[in-house]
Structure 1
Amino acid sequence: MESFVEGLLNHNPNPMWVSDPNGLLVKINDSCLEQLKITKDEVVGIYNVFHDNVIEEQGVMPLLKEVFETGKGARFEICYDSSLLKSIKFKNSVSLALDVTIFTVKGDDHKIAYVVFQQMDISSYKQTEEDLLSAYAKLEKQFQERTADLIAANEALSNEIAERKFAEEDLRKSEETLKNLVELMPVGVGWIDRYENIEYLNHCFVDMFGYTLDDIPTLRELYAKAFPDPSYRAEVIAARAEIIKKVKANGAQMAPMDLKIVCKDGTVRHAIMNSQLVCDRCLTVLIDITDRELLQDRLIKSQKIESLGVLASGIAHDFNNILTGILGFISLARMHLNESHKSYDLLRQAENSSKRAAKVATQLMTFASGSKPIKKTLDVLKLVCDSVSLSLRGTNVLGSVEIATAVHAVKADEMQLGQAFNNIIINAVQAMPDGGTLKVLGENVTLDSNNQIGLQAGQYVKISFRDEGCGIPEDIQKKIFDPYFTTKTDGSGLGLTSVHSIVNKHGGCVCVDSQVGGGTTFTVYLPSAGDVTSLQGNQQNVLPGDKQASGGILLMDDEETIRNLARETLGFLGYRVTTCNNGEEAIALFKAARESGKPFMAAILDLTIPGGMGGKEAAQHILEIDPAARLIVSSGYTNDPVMAGYRNYGFCAAVTKPYKASELGEELGALLLRGH
């Protein structure tokens, strides 16, 4: 069988090649190699007829498959261009019209062993046919020649049309893909032709600036609307012309342009424009950096506020230390006087002024870092009345507080919650420049798990601040709690933001309801702490006037005035007071007293000691000596987390500077009564 095929190839002058049953070329004669301008190394064992895209594209593949499947012979004509073959790239290529005859060779098992392809170059077949038939008639010959030429021309034209269709389809798909990509880009994109007509704008451009192709069909129209100021427009046009001139002169890339574009709705957007000349078009990309600029401005503001916060925190701490001495000695002086003494009331007024100064210091501390609230049980009615009285003083706004005594108490940081109420009240005053009434209502409410304000189910105190001002438009209501948002020319945009932050830290919620021309109501929800009568029942002095205290107290503070105040105050109450100015001394004194058999009943430790060991670290060492030690932390840094979570650091109580003599005594007495 092998020799038969070899003989068939070698003794046949016609171009022939042989494939195996799978279509793989295994043999080829020299005539075929010469016809196709190829070598054996390029095709034998490599070329597979079923991988030939040229045959596939000309629709012959079904016929070939039938031959291989049935063993029947076949004949067809094909225009074969080897340069179009994708599976193999030949060194040389040919384009031929071939007459192909196929037959199979079966083996002893009657199965197809080989498939033989004999192909004749019929490119000039028609001409040869005319030569053979010239004897019949000259007219017939001419007719045949013209027919052959027409067929060849039609075939060539068909091939050209097919190729052009493929090219056009590829181009259409490429343009469609490009357009889809451009539409998805998060930047504005436009194409401008050589005559400065705008051919295309993507959706992002329209969304950013509002202009459609109908609004700005030309570059001139765009300039007129986007840059309405004549001088700025001329500047932009001149700058773009200069950039294009440089590009055409030396082929450099177009430099980006920084533009302020007036949108269709009148707003101004800050954008960076990048352009690229592509053939006779200009591709333009606009990147909107307005929001980035706003974020940068906010960052700068935030950094300034952070710097001010650090300064404010330090000032407030020092201020609290000074006030502790002032307030403490004033309250101590009052304790030495009978209420009928003429100086008693003067000292009370001085004490109240010191307490107001302490509130200012606490507000400074809260501003410094948004401190964690130091909560205690508060009477809502008293707190609201104090805030209304303070904030409405000197204004033409009348305050009306309607809060029943049955309204529950709340657990809150008095200074922070007071600041939140003050900000709401000040906002109401500013909304009523011609005067009016601010009505404050309070009630107990129970919220279920499906409440609309997103709070956990339970009992809450609802406090509503209702003014008679101009009202807030609906679109602005969504932004009033945003940092730095303000409608006032001299506003910081932090007042209502701090209200929102403080209320949230207390586990509550603040809502706004407003109608333009119909006033505004701010409603604050705070978790209930129970009946206010329980609070009133506990607001008595721990140490009655007729009961003298006793025992040793250790006080550590770096301020000499505070050490002297504690010595005088606690000594007046009957305690033996030992003072020191840093943690190392406190540890040594505590240890020595314990070893001597006369331990301290309690120790009051200042949280922060410049250049020395503070109360937090000292407490850990003292608790190692005596795990049952009763320790009180004291600090002017009300925003320190140790003050809010003092028990987590081993302390039994916390005293915030400045404090009155009686407050220190009450806290100490309460600690000793409850044991720890």
Structure 2
Amino acid sequence: MQLIKNSSIKYKLILAIMSTVVVSLLLVGSAVIVSERYLSKKSMTEQLMTVSRILADRSTAALSFDDQKAATEILSALDQTSTVILACIYDRSQSLFARYAGDRLQICPEIPQTDGHQFLDRYFELYQSVILEGDLIGTVYLRATLRELDKRLISFIILVMSIVLLAGIVSYLMANKQQATISKPILELADIARQISARSDYSVRAPRGADDEMGALNRAFNNMLEQIRKREVARDTANQALEEKENNLAITLDSIADAVITTDAEGCITRMNPVAEQLTGWSFEDARGNTLKTIFQIIHATTHKPIENPIQKVMATGETVYLSNHTTLISRDGTEYQIADSAAPIRNEDSRVIGMVLVFNDITEQYQLRQAAAKNERDMTAVMDNTPAVIHIKDTDGRFVFINQRFETLFHVKHEDIIGQTPQDVFPENIADEMQRDDIKVLDAAHALESEELIPHDDGLHSYFSIKFPLFDEQDHVYAICCISTDVTERKKQEEQLRRSQKMDALGKLTGGVAHDYNNILGIVLGYAEQLSEYLSGDPRLEKYVNDIHHAALRGARLTKKLLAFSRNKSPDAEVLDINALLSEQQFMLEKTLTARIKLVFDLEDDLWPVYLDAGDLEDSIINISINAMHAMQGAGELTIRTRNERLNELDARQLNMAAGNYVLISITDTGCGMDETTRDKIFDPFYSTKGDEGTGLGLSQVFGFIERSGGVIKVYTEPGQGSRFNLYFPYSHHSVTAVQMPTKGAVLNLQGSETLLVVDDEQAMAELACEILTARGYRVFAANDGEQALAVLRKENIDLIISDVIMPNLDGYQLASRVQQLYPHIKIQMTSGFADSRHSSMKDHTLHQNMLYKPYTSKKLLEHVRNLLDKDRVKTDLIGRTILVVDDEEDFQELFRLSLERLGCRTTLSGNGEEAIAFYRQSLESNEPFDAVILDLNFPGGISGQEIADAIRVMDPHARIIVASGHTEGPEMTSYQDYGFSGALEKNFVQETLKQVLEQVLSPD
């Protein structure tokens, strides 16, 4: 349709004529075709109805006499008819009687219908009744093809279309000839109009034409062209003058360095100069007609909130508007410019506001410089106010001109109060004079100088490291002095503590090394002295000599132990302690040590937390501090020992140079002479003593080493004439003191043996001594001087246990142990050492470290370690076959107890509640096979309690041995199990060895 719409009038006329002719012929042809089709069907129907009647008449005899052959012959006459493709005769019972098929694929209907006919898609069907004397004796069925009718229809359609095509061609030729009369004048006028539009030549004229409508149109068109030509001449003259003015104005605006934008009364852009285009990001072509608000988007430089566009105020008031210096222009691409601008109204000759002119310029660089300067000032003020250093500035006359907030806080002054004051107005005279002398030195030197100053604080004098430097003006003249002071009091304390620790560490390494070699020598002396004592039982004089040697060696061993403790490489004897219990045990000894003139006062907190410490080291430390306190008290005095649970938060811990957490505090306070600061700072230094020749200077050094080794902290508070207080902080231990108290005495251990042992020691005498001790007890012993030799022996001999020194050449004891555990995992290992160095704590096998045998050792100690290690994991015969009743409501613990007890050789009965457990125990008594022991949980939700179960069992059997088992390790039933009638207590987080020990304790004969 669009193509037809855009076609010329010539083709529209031709198309209209042709369409009329063709459509008319198509309608007539369609009517002819429909009529012919109808007549053909009617003719075919009449013809076939005639044939069917003839067939019905002729077949009456055949149907009457049931002569199918005659009927078939009658139907065969249809061969002369090309349209009939199927004929069927049915008898009176509607059964097929005779059939004719012009097409073999045709099939007669099963049941004939009543008289009638119908046209289907491809066939014509007809039913005709056969009547004889009014009686229906059969039915004739005909089926004819419609091919002849379809061929006739197609022929008619082809004929009609041929006629239509021929008529269309003829109509086109005639229309093309006749349309020129109408379309030619119109096309000529249209062509003239296009020429005028293309060339703007209004001198062209259309031909006059005839006196009809087209002629009148041409004359009117020519008159219009003349009017347009006159107006064009006038307009060109005016435009030329206006263009000259515009050019002059454009040159003027483009020459201005500021951005200029003009608008009309509605605020739409009418002009922009290049500077305005650059700053706004809009070209004049894109901006023309847009509102000023669209292209001139301004916000406040600080708040970034939109600023009211000046055009509203200018148009409303008619006054010039100036914007503030904090105006930011957002250009089209998002670039921000800081601008200064003004907007003024544009008035016509009647003084009416018809627009606005906006003039602005880019002041971004100047604005950024001002902002940077302001930011630098704010940043510098923030830095100085938030730095931990004390900062102040004084002029050359010594008056304060600036102080930071740290200065105000520390010295309790306000900025406005101190400005203009001198140090003499703020600080003590001696400190102020020292400050003034330092200031004069800086002024004279004209460069930075460093110094240390003592400044009074609320808690006393603090040491400050100060750097002072001059400030110069543009003429390089000093106009002020700046001082930055850092409090180094704590740093100096930490440096002193580090120096002390390093000194202790260096001295410890020296003493530790000496102790290691000394232990080997003592081991040889002690061992052979014991061997000699066995052979000199008949000579008292020689026995005395040997005993003297033995005691001297033991004294040397004790000295070595002190050296190792001093070096912080002492053997690990730490355990979970109740400090209150330890102090109570030591109270009598402390009172005797302090003598009667010193009153000992204990102030012990109830429920003191447990700690993990070496009890012996703690005892030594308390005695050491107490003896020093006694010496500091001339005449009568008082020594107070307090214990407290302390929860230190971050602030409290930071003041003590400790980590925040829970600690147990031991505070030892005396009423002695006290110490000055110099003495207090040196008391932990090795060999420092205030007792002259009477003191060694090692006592408090050992205390310091022990506390540091234990992860604790020691603080000393003292004043001359006011006494001293030593505060010892130890970390709280999450473990509790074991509830099962194992007997310290039992059956004498059989130290004899027949196993094969390997002694590995680079000290030949120590190796020979160990071999002699072990051989005398029946062991088969081999010796090696280092790890490589030991591995060679292991490849040849079947060894049960290795006794190896730690420090050896080639392959040391730890490396040997690692190789043995990989190659011979069944062999047990006993490590020995004369120096418990730092490698002990890093051993992968914690068991070897815990079972370390330290030199010098006695023969008995060696034999006990060997025998215990060989007997480890062997079940004692007194546990084999024992019957144990386990009562616990948790199936997991029942299974754990069962497995552990079966590995120990015990027979187990499990019960999940009290009623069942009581019934089991009653049955065992009735069968005269009572349980040897009962392991009983305390808590049974919804049932009788563990205590009630125990009471019921004891009623039946007063001699029942009941072990309480609980996860509440601090409950009274666990810590004081005897008071509740239990024979023992077992923590539920047990290992098999702990279970074994508890059973052995409970089942041992009284």
Q: Give the TM-score category using the shorter length.
A: 0.5 to 0.7
Give the drift of 1:601. 2.9
Rate the CA distance shift 1:27–1:588 in 2: closer, same or farther, 3 A: same
1:411, 1:83 → 2: CA distance?
70
Q: 1:107 matched to which residue of 2?
A: none
Equivalent AA in structure 1 for residue 404 of structure 2: N
Q: Which residue of 1 aligns with 2:750?
A: 543
- In the alignment, is the contact (CA less than 8 A) between 2:262 and 2:270 conserved in 1? yes
Residue in 2 that maps onto 1:195? 397
SS of residue matched to 2:484? strand
Residue 616 (structure 2) aligns with = 418
Deviation at residue 179 of structure 1 after TM alignment: 4.3
Alignment of 1:263 with 2:461, yes or no, is no
1:307 aligns with 2:506: yes
Residue 648 (structure 1) shift: 3.8
Between 1:636-645 and 1:418-427, the stretch displaced more is 636-645
Aligned-partner Cα distance in 1 for 2:461–2:646: 35
Q: 865, 869, 892: which is aligned to 1:671?
A: 869
Aligned residue runs from structure 1 range 154-553, under 5 A: 179-207=381-409, 218-219=421-422, 221=424, 225=428, 227-228=430-431, 236-244=438-446, 254-263=447-456, 267-277=461-471, 279=473, 280-338=479-537, 341=540, 344=543, 347-348=546-547, 350-369=549-568, 373-374=572-573, 416-433=614-631, 434=634, 469-470=670-671, 494-501=701-708, 527-530=736-739, 534-538=742-746, 541-543=748-750, 548-553=752-757
Deviation, structure 1 residue 624: 3.5
On the 8 A contact 2:298/2:330 being kept in 1, the answer is no
Q: 1:621 to 1:386 in 2, by over 3 A?
A: farther
Name the amino acid aligned to 1:542: L
Partners in 1 of 2:264 and 2:844 — Cα distance? 91
Displacement after TM superposition at 1:589 (Å)? 0.9
SS of the residue 1:316 aligns to: helix
Which shows bigger deviation, 549-558 or 431-440?
431-440
Alignment counterpart, residue 796 of structure 2, candidates 592, 603, 610:
592
* Counterpart pick for 2:770 among 566, 572, 577: 566
**1:365 and 1:334 mapped to 2: Cα distance?**
29
Shift of 1:617: 1.4
SS for the counterpart of 2:554 is: helix
Aligned alpha-carbon RMSD (Å)? 6.1
Structure 2 letter corresponding to 1:117? M
What is the CA-CA distance between 1:54 and the residue it aligns to? Answer: 12
Change in Cα spacing, 1:627 to 1:62, as seen in structure 2 (3 Å) is closer
CA contact (8 A) 1:397 1:429 kept: no
Change (3 A) 1:642 1:25: same
Unaligned 5+ runs, structure 2: 1-235, 254-260, 332-338, 349-353, 360-368, 474-478, 603-609, 649-663, 692-696, 875-1006
**Match of 1:117?**
356
Judge conservation of contact 1:388–1:422 (CA < 8 Å) in 2. Answer: no
- Cα distance between partner residues in 2 of 1:552 and 1:422: 42
Amino acid at match of 1:360: L
What is the match of residue 575 of structure 1? 779
Distance 1:618 1:667 in 2: 19
Hey, what does 2:271 align to over in structure 1?
27
CA deviation digits over 1:608-629, x for unaligned, max 9?
10x3211111123333442110
Structure 2 residue 803 is the aligned partner of structure 1 residue 604: yes
Identity of aligned residues (%): 18
- Following superposition, the deviation at residue 633 of structure 1 comes to 0.8
Conserved? CA contact 1:590–1:600, under 8 Å: yes
Alpha-carbon displacement from aligned partner over 1:380-424 (angstroms, at most 9, x marks no partner): 99999899879977988889999xxxxxxx9988xx431221111
Select 1:616's aligned residue among 806, 810, 814: 814
Shift of 1:41: 6.7
Find the aligned partners of 2:525 and 2:615 in 1 and give their Cα distance.
25
TM-score normalized by the length of structure 1 = 0.62
How many angstroms apart in 1 are the aligned matches of 2:340 and 2:666? 92
Secondary structure of 1:260's counterpart equals: strand
SS at match of 1:191: strand
Choose which of 843, 858, 863 in structure 2 pairs with 1:660.
858
> For residues 511 and 263 of structure 1, what CA distance do their matches in structure 2 show?
23
- AA matched with 1:100: P
Cα offset, 1:567, TM superposition: 2.2
Contact 2:398-2:436 at 8 Å conserved across structures: no
Question: 1:274: how far off?
Answer: 3.0
**Contact 1:400–1:439 (CA under 8 A) maintained in structure 2:** yes
> Is 2:316 the partner of 1:77?
no
DSSP 3-state at the match of 1:64: helix
By how many angstroms is 1:351 displaced?
Answer: 3.3
Q: Which residue of 1 aligns with 2:835?
A: 637
Counterpart CA distance in 1 for 2:532 and 2:565 is: 31
Choose 275-284 or 205-214, whichever is displaced more.
Answer: 205-214
Provide the C-alpha distance between the structure 2 equivalents of 1:442 and 1:188, rounded to a whole number of angstroms. Answer: 40
Counterpart residue type for residue 239 of structure 1: K
**Deviation for aligned residue 1:663:** 0.8
Match for 2:813: what amino acid?
G
1:84-99 equivalent positions in 2, closer than 5 A: 87=329, 99=344
C-alpha distance in structure 1 between counterparts of 2:665 and 2:262, whole Å: 97
Letter in 1 for 2:852: A
Q: Partners in 1 of 2:724 and 2:708 — Cα distance? A: 27
CA contact (8 A) 1:18 1:117 kept: yes
Is 1:100 the counterpart of 2:100 in the alignment? no
Shift in CA distance, 96/673, structure 1 to aligned 2, threshold 3 Å: closer
User: Could you tell me how far apart the structure 2 residues matched to 1:328 and 1:318 are?
Assistant: 16
SS in 1 for 2:320: strand
SS at 2:483 equivalent: strand
Query: Which SS does the other structure have where 1:77 is aligned?
Result: coil
Counterpart of 1:129 in structure 2 is: none
Q: What TM-score do the two structures reach when normalised by structure 2? A: 0.44
Structure 2 Cα separation of the partners of residues 484 and 243 of structure 1: 41
Per the TM alignment, residue 269 of structure 1 is displaced from its structure 2 partner at its CA by: 1.4
Mapping 1:45-56, distance limit 5 Å: 45=282, 50=293, 51=296
| 2:311 aligned residue | 64
Q: Distance in 2 between matches of 1:637 and 1:387?
A: 33
Instruction: Tell me, in whole angstroms, the C-alpha distance in 2 between the residues paired with 1:635 and 1:318.
Output: 10
3-state secondary structure, aligned to 2:522: helix
Specify the code of the residue in structure 2 equivalent to 1:76.
G
What is the total number of aligned residue pairs between the two structures? Answer: 548
Amino acid at match of 1:323: L
Q: Could you say which residue in structure 2 is the equivalent of 1:134?
A: none
Separation of aligned partners in 2, 1:5 and 1:352: 134
Change (3 A) 1:377 1:632: farther
Q: State the AA in 2 paired with 1:469.
A: D
